């Protein structure tokens, strides 16, 4: 009925030649006062978005029909905050991170990632990926398995020479270039020859520690596996490698007690090495009593205490596991 009445008023207005004000919708009449209902000559003929904007402006008390988007004088000024700067990267020290909130990234795209089906890379492709990883700020790049093939050896060597010596002039950052190796002396020497050209070289050696691998792949006893791991670390030290990483292969299926044992023995090798260094530094301090010798002794003692904590933890875990099994 209301629509019919509206049409009749519009028809009578058309016959008389005057423009009639359309009747608002009953819902609009119920919610909006009559003084705020737009007339046909102002905002009713505008598009929907502009009409809604005019209604909001009138409801807020702005009578000129245009909304004001400028803030009032009472509002505090909006100050753009500068972007947060990245915290400084802690200096790289093997086997230690001074900042407890820093996460050191060890990337294996060029070694473990290449083993995916269809992901074989050429030497040039590996070099290009290594450059991009350095741009991302990766701490350690495992460049490959040098003993696998001459091409892989050459790829790791080129990455160590070019990417491993490209120091950032602003931050001093340069990635650590790592090569993977088994515990065999020939493999260790091949890996060291590939990465030694880098500013920060590292060799990552490994040996299987699960029972099925030791029996069927290595055909070695637990004592022989431990001896091989310790000998590999000592051999790398003789070659001149100070940054050594050891990993137990197939650790998920290994016996916890044996894991604690082999890791503890490898750590003991490092502790004994630092003990010899401490004795040497003590002799230097006694003979020269120089500032440089005292600083060297303090740094060496700090490294020794850190490694000793690792060995104590490994021994405690082994003892706890033995008691639980009983």
Does the predicted TM-score (pTM) go above 0.75? no
- Please provide the average confidence, as pLDDT, over all residues in the chain: 75
pLDDT at 312: 62
**Residue whose tokens read 């991302």:** 136
pLDDT at 118: 77
pLDDT tens, position by position, 70-115: 555 555 666 666 666 667 888 898 888 888 888 999 999 998 877 7
For range 60-66, the mean pLDDT: 51
147 in Cβ contact with 190 (< 8 Å): yes
pLDDT at 104: 92
Distance CA 51, CA 43 (A): 5
Which of 10-24, 46-60, 228-242 has the highest mean predicted lDDT (pLDDT)?
Answer: 228-242
pLDDT at 14: 60
pLDDT at 285: 33
pLDDT tens, position by position, 266-312: 988 865 554 443 333 333 333 333 434 344 445 555 555 555 565 56
For range 36-59, the mean pLDDT: 57
pLDDT at 294: 43
pLDDT at 275: 42
pLDDT at 279: 34
Calculated CA dihedral for residues 270, 274, 277, 279, nearest 10 degrees: -130
Asked whether the predicted pLDDT for residue 69 surpasses 70, the reply is: no
Inter-residue long-range contacts of 100-106, CB under 8 Å, 24+ positions, other chains counted: 104/139, 104/140, 105/137, 105/138, 105/139, 105/140, 106/139, 106/140, 106/142, 106/178
pLDDT at 171: 85
More confident residue, 55 or 126: 126
165 in Cβ contact with 212 (< 8 Å): no
For range 168-176, the mean pLDDT: 90
Asked whether the predicted pLDDT for residue 136 surpasses 70, the reply is: yes
Closest CA to 159 of 173, 145, 141: 141
More confident residue, 94 or 259: 259
237 in Cβ contact with 273 (< 8 Å): yes
């Amino acid at each position: 009925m209301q629509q019919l009445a509206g049409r009749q008023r519009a028809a009578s207005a058309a016959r008389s030649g005057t423009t009639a004000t359309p009747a608002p919708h009953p819902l609009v009449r119920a919610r909006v006062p009559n003084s705020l209902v737009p007339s046909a000559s102002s905002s009713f003929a505008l598009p929907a978005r502009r009409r809604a904007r005019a209604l909001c402006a009138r409801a807020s008390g702005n009578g000129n029909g245009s909304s004001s988007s400028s803030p009032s004088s009472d509002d505090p000024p909006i100050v753009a905050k500068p972007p947060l700067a990245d915290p400084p990267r802690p200096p790289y020290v093997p086997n230690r991170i001074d900042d407890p909130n820093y996460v050191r990234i060890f990337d294996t795209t060029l070694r473990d990632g290449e083993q995916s089906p269809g992901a074989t890379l050429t030497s040039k492709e590996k070099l290009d990926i290594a450059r991009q990883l350095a741009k991302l700020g990766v701490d350690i790049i495992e460049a490959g398995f040098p003993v696998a093939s001459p091409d892989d050896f050459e790829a790791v060597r080129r990455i160590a020479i070019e990417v491993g010596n490209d120091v950032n002039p602003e931050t001093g950052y340069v990635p650590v270039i790592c090569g993977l190796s088994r515990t065999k002396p020939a493999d260790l020497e091949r890996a060291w020859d590939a990465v030694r050209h880098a500013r920060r070289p590292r060799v990552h050696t490994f040996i299987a520690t699960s029972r099925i691998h030791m029996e069927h792949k290595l055909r070695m006893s637990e004592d022989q596996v431990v001896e091989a791991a310790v000998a590999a670390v000592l051999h790398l030290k003789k070659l001149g490698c100070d940054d050594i990483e050891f990993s137990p292969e197939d650790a998920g299926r290994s016996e916890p007690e044996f894991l604690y044992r082999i890791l503890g023995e490898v750590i003991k090798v490092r502790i004994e090495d630092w003990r010899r260094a401490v004795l040497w530094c003590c002799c230097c301090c006694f003979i020269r009593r120089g500032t440089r010798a005292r600083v060297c002794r303090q740094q060496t003692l700090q490294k020794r205490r850190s490694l000793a904590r690792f060995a104590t933890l490994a021994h405690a875990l082994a003892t706890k596991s033995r008691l639980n099994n009983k």
